[in-house]
Amino acid sequence: MSSTTIAKDPKVARNEQVVRSFIQAWRDLDVDAAMSHLAPDIEYINQPLDPIVGADGVRKLIKSLIDRTHWVDWELKNVFGSGDTVCTERLDCWDFDGKGVGLRLPCVGMFDLNDDGKITGWRDYFDIALWTDNGGPTLEL
Amino acid sequence: MARDDTQYTLPREADTRNEAAVRAFLRGWDDQDLDAAMAQCAPDIVYLNQPLPPIVGQADVAKLIGSLLEPARKVQFKLLNLFGSGDLVVAERLDQWDWDGNGFTLKLPVTGIFELTPDGRIREWREYYDNTHWTRYGGPSLEL
């Protein structure tokens, strides 16, 4: 095997940075900042629930979650991309009531980005029961 | 190990080799060939179905995988995304299971994160999916 190394694809690096900024917006509980990274035709899927399509519906859901959140950190275990897709392996830590982190949710989010660096697809994979049994609000509109 | 440096470089050959190992592992499931799947795993493999307890070591992991493949009539893992970075590979999939000859009644959206050893064996496999969806459509126990 050759020991050649290659610089990271600039588009992949950019896409990873966009996804990190999107996740930072959740930490900041800033709906507008989060939405600024999404394409108008964004499709958001909490697997295996029905997708939410379009910026209006997605804003509504994101706002409903952030409104019910006192503090949140999405701890990033791994972030890496390829082509138009970025994988985030996370531990999402939620404090819904100001009494401390009541939910630690192991989660993978897959993000697809367009050429402009906006997120067009966001698919989160996690155990829905773990979410709902520990204070997670509804994920449907 | 967290991977926060956006500037790091990576050996492309290792990615390709690791991706091939994960593809071969997943093909073992499609072929319902336990030995072929296990051939891609390190002796100290850790298999984690989030949020269930981890299963550690070749013997127990083979036992669990065997207990899933044995009752299945047909298995087909549809690959939506598969790519590597460093010692990691992600496989975003739709796992399709036919338990009774009536077609794929369980279609499980799932993403697996694989960590590989320097010699290209899977040493950790973390699966992210909705466990209720798995059990509701006939998935057997994922605990030993």
What's the ipTM? 0.94
B13 contacts A128? CB cut-off 8 A: no
**What band does A8 get if pLDDT is binned at 50, 70 and 90?**
confident
Residues of B in contact with A83 (CB under 8 A): 83
Per-residue pLDDT of B3-52, as tens digits, reads 444 444 556 688 899 999 999 999 999 999 999 999 999 999 999 998 89
Residue B28 vs residues B22, B60, B124: alpha-carbon distances, Å: 10, 17, 17
Measured distance CA(B38)–CA(B136) in Å, rounded: 27
Instruction: For residue A130, give the chain B residue with the closest CA.
Output: B51
- One-letter identity of residue B55: I
3-state secondary structure of B31: coil
Q: A47 vs B109: CB contact, 8 Å cut-off?
A: yes
- The shortest C-alpha distance from B14 to chain A (Å) reads 8
Q: What is the count of residue pairs from A and B with beta carbons less than 8 Å apart?
A: 107
Strand pairing class (A38-47; B122-128): unpaired
How large a percentage of chain A has pLDDT more than 70? Answer: 95
Q: How far apart are the first and last CA of chain A?
A: 51
Tell me B118's DSSP state. Answer: T
Q: Do A125 and B110 touch (CB under 8 A)?
A: yes
pLDDT at A59: 98
Q: What would the two tokens of residue B41 be? A: 């795993």
Q: What is the pLDDT of residue A2?
A: 42
Q: What is the pLDDT of residue A1?
A: 41
- Mean model confidence pLDDT for chain A: 95
Supply the pLDDT for residue A6. Answer: 60
pLDDT at B50: 86
Burial class of residue B119 (count of CB atoms within 10 Å of its CB; 0-12, 13-18, 19+): exposed
Edge-to-edge order in the sheet of strand B55-56: B55-56, B41-49, B122-128, B106-116, B88-98, B74-85
Cβ atoms of A107 and A138 within 8 Å: the answer is no
Query: Which of A18-27, B3-12, B69-78, B104-113 is the least confident region?
Result: B3-12
Give the model's pLDDT for residue B44: 97
* Residue-level pLDDT at A5: 55
Q: In the structure encoding, which two tokens stand for residue B103, read together?
A: 């077609």
Cβ <8 Å between A89 and B14: no
Average pLDDT estimate for A9-25: 97
Q: Measured between CB atoms, which of A45, A83, A125 is closest to B129?
A: A125
Residue A95 pLDDT > 70: yes
Q: CA B14, CA B119: separation in Å to the nearest integer?
A: 9
